[in-house]
Amino acid sequence: MQHFSEFEPERIVLKCRWCGEILVLIGREEDWRSEGRSSFQCECGESLTILANRVPGEYNIEQLLRRLGAPNGR
């Protein structure tokens, strides 16, 4: 039996340079590639690619979401 909770799912975070929108892809880069998905459209219409728009390093999604959804800011 595998304990999935101990494994963080692979995530790819893309950030649009135009509008700052964050796109979170669940899965590995090679999986997206094998699906033929190498570019993703942002809400602003900009085309994001894993190569060009990936946010490098560790990205704390929970922190990010909290920041986006903070009711009373700071």
Query: Interface with Zn ion by CB under 5 A: which residues?
Result: 16, 18-19, 21, 42, 44, 46
Supply the minimum distance, in Å, between the C-beta of residue 45 and Zn ion. Answer: 7
Quick one: 42 or 50, whose CB is closer to Zn ion? Answer: 42
Task: From 56, 45, 43, 44, select the one nearest 14 (Cα to Cα).
Answer: 56
CB of 45 or CB of 69, closer to Zn ion: 45
Helices (H) and strands (E) in the chain, counts: 3, 4
Closest contact distance (angstroms) between CB of 39 and Zn ion is 13
How near is the Cβ of 21 to Zn ion at its closest, in Å? 4
Measured CA to CA in angstroms, residue 63 lies from 11, 16, 24 at distances of 14, 18, 13
